[in-house]
Structure 1
Amino acid sequence: MYTNRLQEYTQKLGISLSEYRNRNEGFTHAPKFRSCVLLNGKNYVSRGTFVKRKEAEQDAAKVALENITETRNVRGKPRIQDPTYCKYILFDYAVKMYLKIPEYSTTGGEQMRPVFVSTLDFDGKVYKGEEARSKKIAEQLAARVAIRSLLDTFACFI
Protein backbone atom coordinates (compact mmCIF):
# COMPACT_ATOMS: atom_id res chain seq x y z
CA MET A 1 0.00 0.00 0.00
CA TYR A 2 1.83 3.05 -1.28
CA THR A 3 -0.46 5.52 0.51
CA ASN A 4 0.42 3.97 3.88
CA ARG A 5 4.16 3.93 3.10
CA LEU A 6 4.02 7.57 2.03
CA GLN A 7 2.19 8.55 5.21
CA GLU A 8 4.74 6.70 7.37
CA TYR A 9 7.61 8.33 5.50
CA THR A 10 6.22 11.84 5.94
CA GLN A 11 5.53 11.27 9.63
CA LYS A 12 9.10 10.07 10.23
CA LEU A 13 10.53 13.18 8.61
CA GLY A 14 7.96 15.56 10.08
CA ILE A 15 6.68 16.62 6.66
CA SER A 16 3.02 17.50 6.43
CA LEU A 17 1.04 15.50 3.89
CA SER A 18 -1.95 17.22 2.37
CA GLU A 19 -5.04 15.47 1.13
CA TYR A 20 -5.24 13.66 -2.13
CA ARG A 21 -7.08 15.51 -4.88
CA ASN A 22 -9.02 13.42 -7.33
CA ARG A 23 -10.46 14.33 -10.70
CA ASN A 24 -12.81 12.30 -12.84
CA GLU A 25 -11.63 12.57 -16.44
CA GLY A 26 -14.27 10.14 -17.68
CA PHE A 27 -18.05 10.03 -17.54
CA THR A 28 -20.38 9.36 -14.61
CA HIS A 29 -21.18 5.88 -15.93
CA ALA A 30 -17.53 5.17 -16.87
CA PRO A 31 -15.23 7.07 -14.48
CA LYS A 32 -11.52 7.55 -15.09
CA PHE A 33 -9.91 8.96 -11.98
CA ARG A 34 -6.59 10.77 -11.80
CA SER A 35 -5.16 11.64 -8.39
CA CYS A 36 -2.67 14.19 -7.14
CA VAL A 37 -0.91 14.47 -3.77
CA LEU A 38 0.86 17.60 -2.51
CA LEU A 39 4.01 16.80 -0.55
CA ASN A 40 6.52 19.30 0.73
CA GLY A 41 5.39 21.93 -1.79
CA LYS A 42 5.45 19.61 -4.82
CA ASN A 43 2.56 17.95 -6.66
CA TYR A 44 2.80 14.29 -7.60
CA VAL A 45 0.21 13.12 -10.13
CA SER A 46 -0.81 9.56 -10.94
CA ARG A 47 0.60 8.37 -14.26
CA GLY A 48 -2.65 7.05 -15.64
CA THR A 49 -6.37 7.07 -15.05
CA PHE A 50 -8.15 4.42 -13.02
CA VAL A 51 -11.68 3.13 -12.63
CA LYS A 52 -11.43 3.40 -8.83
CA ARG A 53 -10.42 6.52 -6.94
CA LYS A 54 -8.31 4.51 -4.44
CA GLU A 55 -6.26 3.01 -7.28
CA ALA A 56 -5.48 6.51 -8.56
CA GLU A 57 -4.43 7.59 -5.06
CA GLN A 58 -2.15 4.54 -4.76
CA ASP A 59 -0.50 5.42 -8.06
CA ALA A 60 0.00 9.07 -7.03
CA ALA A 61 1.58 7.90 -3.76
CA LYS A 62 3.83 5.52 -5.71
CA VAL A 63 4.97 8.38 -7.97
CA ALA A 64 5.70 10.53 -4.90
CA LEU A 65 7.70 7.78 -3.18
CA GLU A 66 9.72 7.06 -6.31
CA ASN A 67 10.64 10.73 -6.63
CA ILE A 68 11.50 11.46 -3.01
CA THR A 69 13.46 8.28 -2.40
CA GLU A 70 15.42 8.45 -5.63
CA THR A 71 18.66 6.59 -5.06
CA ARG A 72 20.97 8.09 -7.65
CA ASN A 73 21.78 11.62 -8.69
CA VAL A 74 22.95 12.82 -12.10
CA ARG A 75 26.53 11.61 -11.58
CA GLY A 76 25.35 8.15 -10.59
CA LYS A 77 26.56 8.65 -7.02
CA PRO A 78 24.22 7.33 -4.30
CA ARG A 79 22.04 9.89 -2.55
CA ILE A 80 20.84 9.22 0.96
CA GLN A 81 17.40 10.82 1.15
CA ASP A 82 15.74 8.72 3.82
CA PRO A 83 17.79 8.53 7.03
CA THR A 84 15.71 5.66 8.47
CA TYR A 85 18.35 2.95 8.04
CA CYS A 86 21.49 5.07 8.30
CA LYS A 87 22.32 4.02 11.87
CA TYR A 88 22.02 0.37 10.92
CA ILE A 89 24.09 0.82 7.75
CA LEU A 90 26.86 2.62 9.64
CA PHE A 91 26.85 0.01 12.42
CA ASP A 92 27.01 -2.80 9.85
CA TYR A 93 29.89 -1.06 8.07
CA ALA A 94 31.81 -0.68 11.35
CA VAL A 95 31.37 -4.37 12.17
CA LYS A 96 32.44 -5.54 8.70
CA MET A 97 35.48 -3.23 8.66
CA TYR A 98 36.47 -4.10 12.27
CA LEU A 99 36.06 -0.49 13.39
CA LYS A 100 34.89 0.84 16.73
CA ILE A 101 31.09 0.98 16.99
CA PRO A 102 29.72 4.53 16.38
CA GLU A 103 29.03 6.57 19.53
CA TYR A 104 26.17 9.08 19.56
CA SER A 105 25.78 12.11 21.79
CA THR A 106 22.41 13.84 21.60
CA THR A 107 21.36 17.12 23.18
CA GLY A 108 18.07 18.95 23.39
CA GLY A 109 14.49 18.11 24.15
CA GLU A 110 13.95 20.50 27.04
CA GLN A 111 11.85 23.08 25.21
CA MET A 112 8.09 23.19 24.61
CA ARG A 113 8.76 22.05 21.04
CA PRO A 114 11.57 19.55 21.44
CA VAL A 115 14.56 19.96 19.17
CA PHE A 116 17.36 17.41 19.24
CA VAL A 117 20.83 17.55 17.71
CA SER A 118 23.12 14.56 17.63
CA THR A 119 26.85 14.27 17.11
CA LEU A 120 28.54 11.05 16.14
CA ASP A 121 32.06 9.90 16.90
CA PHE A 122 33.08 7.38 14.26
CA ASP A 123 36.51 6.22 13.16
CA GLY A 124 38.26 9.18 14.76
CA LYS A 125 35.97 11.80 13.21
CA VAL A 126 33.04 13.72 14.64
CA TYR A 127 29.91 14.30 12.54
CA LYS A 128 27.03 16.59 13.45
CA GLY A 129 23.50 15.99 12.20
CA GLU A 130 20.67 18.41 11.53
CA GLU A 131 18.01 19.37 14.08
CA ALA A 132 15.20 16.86 14.52
CA ARG A 133 12.00 16.42 16.51
CA SER A 134 13.16 13.23 18.26
CA LYS A 135 16.40 11.77 19.57
CA LYS A 136 16.09 8.77 17.25
CA ILE A 137 15.79 10.90 14.10
CA ALA A 138 18.63 13.18 15.27
CA GLU A 139 20.91 10.14 15.54
CA GLN A 140 19.81 8.90 12.11
CA LEU A 141 20.59 12.29 10.61
CA ALA A 142 24.08 12.28 12.17
CA ALA A 143 24.66 8.79 10.75
CA ARG A 144 23.55 10.06 7.34
CA VAL A 145 26.19 12.82 7.49
CA ALA A 146 28.86 10.21 8.27
CA ILE A 147 27.71 7.96 5.42
CA ARG A 148 27.73 10.85 2.96
CA SER A 149 31.26 11.70 4.04
CA LEU A 150 32.37 8.10 3.55
CA LEU A 151 30.73 7.99 0.11
CA ASP A 152 32.51 11.21 -0.89
CA THR A 153 35.82 9.71 0.26
CA PHE A 154 35.25 6.51 -1.74
CA ALA A 155 34.16 8.50 -4.81
CA CYS A 156 37.76 9.66 -5.19
CA PHE A 157 38.84 6.06 -5.84
CA ILE A 158 36.27 5.34 -8.55
Structure 2
Amino acid sequence: MYKNQLQELAQRSCFNLPSYASIREGPDHAPRFKATVNFNGETFESPSFCSTLRQAEHSAAEVALNTLSNRGPSRSLAAKVLDETGIYKNLLQETAHRAGLKLPVYTTVRSGPGHTPIFTCTVELAGMSFTGDPAKTKKQAQKNAAMAAWSALKHCE
Protein backbone atom coordinates (compact mmCIF):
# COMPACT_ATOMS: atom_id res chain seq x y z
CA MET A 1 0.00 0.00 0.00
CA TYR A 2 2.68 2.54 0.98
CA LYS A 3 4.86 1.85 -2.06
CA ASN A 4 1.85 2.44 -4.33
CA GLN A 5 0.98 5.70 -2.56
CA LEU A 6 4.56 6.95 -2.80
CA GLN A 7 4.65 6.10 -6.50
CA GLU A 8 1.33 7.90 -7.04
CA LEU A 9 2.70 10.93 -5.21
CA ALA A 10 5.75 10.95 -7.49
CA GLN A 11 3.62 10.72 -10.62
CA ARG A 12 1.19 13.44 -9.52
CA SER A 13 3.94 15.85 -8.54
CA CYS A 14 6.20 15.14 -11.53
CA PHE A 15 9.02 13.80 -9.34
CA ASN A 16 11.23 10.91 -10.34
CA LEU A 17 9.83 7.56 -9.28
CA PRO A 18 11.04 6.33 -5.90
CA SER A 19 14.09 4.08 -5.99
CA TYR A 20 14.73 1.41 -3.38
CA ALA A 21 17.94 -0.12 -2.06
CA SER A 22 18.24 -2.83 0.53
CA ILE A 23 20.65 -4.74 2.68
CA ARG A 24 20.30 -8.36 3.59
CA GLU A 25 21.74 -10.07 6.60
CA GLY A 26 21.38 -13.36 8.37
CA PRO A 27 21.59 -16.96 7.20
CA ASP A 28 19.99 -18.15 3.96
CA HIS A 29 17.21 -19.94 5.82
CA ALA A 30 16.27 -16.81 7.83
CA PRO A 31 17.31 -13.62 6.01
CA ARG A 32 16.44 -10.16 7.30
CA PHE A 33 16.07 -7.05 5.16
CA LYS A 34 16.32 -3.33 5.72
CA ALA A 35 15.44 -0.92 2.93
CA THR A 36 15.88 2.71 2.00
CA VAL A 37 13.89 4.69 -0.51
CA ASN A 38 15.18 7.72 -2.36
CA PHE A 39 12.34 10.11 -3.09
CA ASN A 40 12.75 13.58 -4.56
CA GLY A 41 16.36 13.79 -3.39
CA GLU A 42 15.66 12.60 0.16
CA THR A 43 16.43 9.18 1.60
CA PHE A 44 14.12 7.42 4.04
CA GLU A 45 15.00 4.19 5.85
CA SER A 46 12.89 1.39 7.26
CA PRO A 47 13.15 1.63 11.06
CA SER A 48 13.92 -2.05 11.62
CA PHE A 49 14.80 -5.26 9.84
CA CYS A 50 11.95 -7.17 8.21
CA SER A 51 11.57 -10.82 7.26
CA THR A 52 10.93 -10.04 3.58
CA LEU A 53 12.30 -7.51 1.13
CA ARG A 54 8.75 -6.41 0.28
CA GLN A 55 7.98 -5.61 3.93
CA ALA A 56 11.21 -3.64 4.26
CA GLU A 57 10.44 -1.57 1.16
CA HIS A 58 6.87 -0.89 2.35
CA SER A 59 8.28 0.13 5.74
CA ALA A 60 10.69 2.60 4.11
CA ALA A 61 7.86 4.01 1.97
CA GLU A 62 5.71 4.37 5.10
CA VAL A 63 8.49 6.39 6.78
CA ALA A 64 8.71 8.62 3.70
CA LEU A 65 4.96 9.24 3.57
CA ASN A 66 4.70 9.91 7.30
CA THR A 67 7.63 12.32 7.17
CA LEU A 68 6.22 14.18 4.18
CA SER A 69 2.71 14.33 5.66
CA ASN A 70 4.07 15.82 8.91
CA ARG A 71 5.41 18.79 7.00
CA GLY A 72 1.87 20.07 6.48
CA PRO A 73 0.12 20.81 3.21
CA SER A 74 1.43 24.35 2.82
CA ARG A 75 5.09 23.60 3.48
CA SER A 76 6.04 21.60 0.41
CA LEU A 77 4.73 20.54 -2.96
CA ALA A 78 4.96 16.89 -1.91
CA ALA A 79 2.85 17.52 1.20
CA LYS A 80 0.27 19.42 -0.86
CA VAL A 81 0.00 16.54 -3.28
CA LEU A 82 -0.33 14.15 -0.34
CA ASP A 83 -3.42 16.08 0.72
CA GLU A 84 -4.86 15.91 -2.80
CA THR A 85 -4.40 12.15 -3.02
CA GLY A 86 -6.30 11.54 0.19
CA ILE A 87 -3.29 10.04 1.95
CA TYR A 88 -4.49 11.29 5.32
CA LYS A 89 -7.63 9.15 5.11
CA ASN A 90 -5.47 6.14 4.32
CA LEU A 91 -3.04 6.90 7.14
CA LEU A 92 -5.89 7.24 9.67
CA GLN A 93 -7.42 3.97 8.57
CA GLU A 94 -4.10 2.12 8.65
CA THR A 95 -3.25 3.55 12.08
CA ALA A 96 -6.64 2.54 13.49
CA HIS A 97 -6.26 -0.95 12.06
CA ARG A 98 -2.78 -1.40 13.51
CA ALA A 99 -3.89 -0.12 16.92
CA GLY A 100 -6.89 -2.46 16.98
CA LEU A 101 -9.34 0.47 16.99
CA LYS A 102 -12.60 0.82 15.13
CA LEU A 103 -12.13 2.38 11.71
CA PRO A 104 -12.64 6.15 11.39
CA VAL A 105 -16.27 7.25 10.89
CA TYR A 106 -16.93 10.28 8.70
CA THR A 107 -20.04 12.44 9.11
CA THR A 108 -20.60 15.09 6.46
CA VAL A 109 -23.12 17.94 6.66
CA ARG A 110 -24.25 19.89 3.61
CA SER A 111 -25.28 23.54 3.97
CA GLY A 112 -25.72 26.61 1.81
CA PRO A 113 -27.85 27.08 -1.31
CA GLY A 114 -28.41 24.11 -3.63
CA HIS A 115 -26.31 25.54 -6.46
CA THR A 116 -23.29 26.34 -4.23
CA PRO A 117 -23.28 23.84 -1.36
CA ILE A 118 -20.71 23.85 1.40
CA PHE A 119 -19.71 20.55 3.03
CA THR A 120 -18.32 20.20 6.53
CA CYS A 121 -17.05 16.86 7.76
CA THR A 122 -16.22 15.44 11.16
CA VAL A 123 -14.24 12.24 11.62
CA GLU A 124 -14.46 10.18 14.80
CA LEU A 125 -11.56 7.99 15.85
CA ALA A 126 -10.81 6.42 19.23
CA GLY A 127 -13.54 8.44 20.96
CA MET A 128 -12.24 11.74 19.59
CA SER A 129 -13.84 14.00 16.97
CA PHE A 130 -11.98 16.15 14.47
CA THR A 131 -13.61 18.67 12.12
CA GLY A 132 -11.96 19.75 8.91
CA ASP A 133 -12.21 22.99 6.99
CA PRO A 134 -15.40 23.44 4.92
CA ALA A 135 -15.14 22.47 1.25
CA LYS A 136 -17.08 22.64 -2.01
CA THR A 137 -17.30 18.85 -2.31
CA LYS A 138 -18.06 16.03 0.12
CA LYS A 139 -14.88 14.24 -0.89
CA GLN A 140 -12.69 17.26 -0.14
CA ALA A 141 -14.48 17.85 3.18
CA GLN A 142 -13.63 14.27 4.19
CA LYS A 143 -10.01 14.80 3.19
CA ASN A 144 -9.93 18.02 5.24
CA ALA A 145 -11.33 16.22 8.30
CA ALA A 146 -8.77 13.42 7.93
CA MET A 147 -5.96 15.96 7.59
CA ALA A 148 -7.18 17.80 10.73
CA ALA A 149 -7.30 14.51 12.64
CA TRP A 150 -3.88 13.37 11.45
CA SER A 151 -2.30 16.74 12.29
CA ALA A 152 -3.86 16.78 15.77
CA LEU A 153 -2.82 13.21 16.48
CA LYS A 154 0.74 13.84 15.33
CA HIS A 155 1.02 16.84 17.68
CA CYS A 156 -0.06 14.58 20.57
CA GLU A 157 2.84 12.17 20.02
What TM-score do the two structures reach when normalised by structure 2? 0.48
Q: Name the structure with the higher helix share.
A: 2
Instruction: Please tell me whether Structure 1 or Structure 2 has the larger radius of gyration of its CA atoms.
Output: 1
